[in-house]
């Protein structure tokens, strides 16, 4: 009898192909399916040592899998996922498993779970972070949904995931669409950290007159310290790459200053509004990408409102302060994302274990960083911790670096340098540590013009006041 494959992959683009190669390296019998014959040929070429093969017939692909079938999708999020499921479903039996490993919106995952459950098919959404290199050699994996289905996949996922201190960077996230939700928030934090690095570059370039090579040296030095992270490491490398078009310039200087996006950051901002849980630094990162697209308008307004950008007097001291400001803002980015996960766990009944999420983010994923070990320890010590700012270890770090954060934001404001992520991080912190905010005035305004009532500091219940007796 012909042996069957343990898992099949639909979608043999870079991510799907590399993940299959990773599984084959770890001893699993796997195969794939793709409508594009070139993708099939590429898999056979790259997987020659494992005799990897794939199918152009969906029926043959499904029949090649052992029962219950384990089928992973790595296709573009949105209607294509629904199309593949619709084509696949009539060929499946009850008990078979479908894993959506793309960047699907968590509400789509909720719908698919419900639809497929009615047909007796297990489904779970699984976030994967680490890019093509991570998929090939060990990503961070965030599966959520059908726990029985995860149990069937656990050995495979633990084998192919990144490892930190011997621990696999994968864990069962929780029920429903929690896996895709956590990956979405991961991407929101990623947006924030990328924006903070861009603002740091802008400050060094315009407030310190640093060359690209000098900025590379600063980022490299920082990456050897407490700011060590994947994003800082790769960002430092960018500044040394020369343009291959014969201009003689650094490639970075030839790239148009308009940032694109695929929408996952926007989704994070949108759901934060739905949950009424503020993540302003992540929101600013999303908004600034959108603002960058108005290039023509920005060029015109730069001429209408010219402003000199004075160089910092003590560059060495300013660089020390900038490192502190970046560290402060990175802490805040993680804090905002984790606070959103804390609220989502309550609102959506995800039962998230934040220390486990921090643990699997330590390796393989785009936002992996030295500081994630501190986050892991904070939530391991206090699983019910509402906010990262409330951890004693984090409080000690913030107390040390807060003066540098203030100095950098103040200098940028005086110099006309736009630092939306840095500035929002400081305002967010100052708001959260304010025992009495001026929001009482807003409630008074609402009650005056709309009779929306208010609560008192000295009595229970809601009240309405006659603010202007003469007009009343």
- Show the tokens assigned to 246: 């014969």
CA–CA distance, 388 with 403 (Å, rounded to integer): 20
Maximum separation of any 2 CA atoms in the chain, in Å = 94
Long-range contacts, 387-396 (Cβ 8 Å, 24+): 387/335, 387/338, 387/339, 387/342, 387/432, 388/331, 388/334, 388/335, 388/338, 388/339, 389/335, 389/429, 389/432, 389/433, 394/331, 394/335
In the DSSP assignment, the letter for residue 335 is: H
| C-alpha torsion sign, points 426, 427, 432, 437 | positive
Say how many Å lie between the first and final Cα of the chain, rounded.
90
Q: What phi, psi does 276 have (nearest 5°)?
A: 55, 45
**From the CB of residue 53, how many other CB atoms can be counted at a distance below 10 Å?**
14
Parallel, antiparallel, or unpaired for β 140-145 and 122-129? Answer: antiparallel
CA–CA distance, 319 with 208 (Å, rounded to integer): 9
Q: Indicate if 190 belongs to the active site.
A: yes
Q: Indicate if 183 belongs to the active site.
A: yes
| The CA-based dihedral angle spanning residues 163, 165, 168, 171, taken in that order and rounded to the nearest 10 degrees | -130
| C-alpha torsion sign, points 57, 58, 63, 65 | positive
DSSP letters of 279-302? -HHHHHHHHHHHHHT-HHHHHHHH
Set 190, 199, 284, 323: catalytic member: 190
What is the arrangement of strands in the sheet containing 30-33, beginning at the earlier edge strand?
A: 54-55, 30-33, 7-10, 70-73, 97-100, 122-129, 140-145
- Show the tokens assigned to 316: 């060495």
The neighbouring-strand residues paired with 167 are 164
- Show the tokens assigned to 56: 């152009």
Contact by Cβ (8 Å): 105, 330: no
CA–CA distance, 7 with 21 (Å, rounded to integer): 12
In the DSSP assignment, the letter for residue 163 is: E
DSSP letters of 76-137? -SSHHHHHHHHHHGGG--TT-EEEE-S---HHHHHHHHHHHHHTT-EEEEEEEESHHHHHHH
Set 59, 154, 163, 183: catalytic member: 183
The answer for residues whose C-beta is within 8 angstroms of residue 294's C-beta and 6 or more apart is none
Active-site residues: which are they? 183, 190
């Amino acid at each position: 009898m012909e042996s069957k494959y343990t898992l099949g992959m639909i979608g043999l683009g870079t991510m799907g192909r590399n993940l299959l190669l990773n599984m084959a390296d770890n001893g699993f019998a796997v195969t794939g399916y793709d409508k594009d014959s070139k993708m099939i040929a590429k898999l056979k070429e790259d997987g020659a040592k494992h005799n990897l093969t794939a199918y152009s017939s969906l029926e043959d692909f499904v029949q090649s899998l052992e029962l219950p079938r384990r089928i992973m999708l790595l296709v573009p999020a949105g209607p294509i996922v629904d199309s593949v499921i619709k084509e696949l479903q009539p060929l499946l039996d009850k008990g078979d498993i479908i894993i959506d490993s793309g960047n699907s919106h968590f509400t789509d995952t909720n719908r698919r779970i419900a639809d497929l459950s009615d047909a007796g098919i297990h489904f779970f959404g699984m976030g994967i972070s680490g890019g093509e290199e991570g998929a090939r050699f060990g990503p961070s994996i965030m599966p959520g949904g059908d726990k029985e289905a995860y149990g069937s996949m656990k050995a495979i996922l633990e084998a192919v995931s990144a490892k930190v201190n011997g621990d696999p960077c994968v864990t069962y996230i929780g029920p429903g669409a929690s896996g895709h939700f956590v990956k979405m928030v991961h991407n929101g934090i990623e947006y924030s950290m990328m924006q903070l690095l861009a603002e740091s570059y802008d400050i060094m370039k315009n407030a310190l007159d640093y060359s690209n090579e000098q900025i590379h040296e600063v980022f490299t030095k920082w990456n050897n310290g407490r700011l060590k992270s994947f994003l800082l490491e790769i960002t430092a490398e960018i500044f040394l790459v020369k343009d291959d078009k014969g201009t003689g310039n650094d490639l970075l200087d030839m790239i148009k200053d308009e940032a694109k996006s695929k929408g996952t950051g926007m989704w994070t901002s949108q759901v934060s509004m739905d949950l009424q849980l503020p993540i302003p630094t992540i929101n600013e990162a999303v908004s600034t990408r959108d603002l960058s697209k108005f290039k023509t308008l920005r060029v015109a307004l730069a001429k209408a409102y010219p402003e000199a950008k004075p160089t910092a007097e003590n560059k060495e001291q300013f660089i020390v302060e900038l490192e502190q400001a970046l560290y402060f803002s990175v802490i805040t980015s993680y804090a905002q994302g984790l606070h959103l996960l804390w609220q989502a766990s309550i609102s959506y009944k995800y039962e998230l274990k934040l220390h486990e999420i921090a643990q699997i983010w330590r390796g393989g994923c785009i936002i992996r960083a030295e500081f994630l070990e501190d986050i892991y320890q904070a939530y391991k010590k206090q699983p019910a911790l509402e906010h990262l700012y409330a951890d004693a270890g984090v409080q000690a770090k913030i107390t040390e670096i807060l003066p540098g954060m203030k100095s950098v934001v103040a200098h940028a404001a005086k110099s006309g340098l736009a630092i939306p992520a840095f500035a929002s991080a400081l305002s967010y912190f100052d708001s959260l540590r304010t025992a009495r905010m001026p929001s009482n005035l807003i409630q008074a305004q609402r009650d005056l013009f709309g009779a929306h009532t208010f609560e008192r500091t000295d009595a229970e219940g809601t009240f309405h006041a006659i603010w202007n007796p003469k007009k009343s």
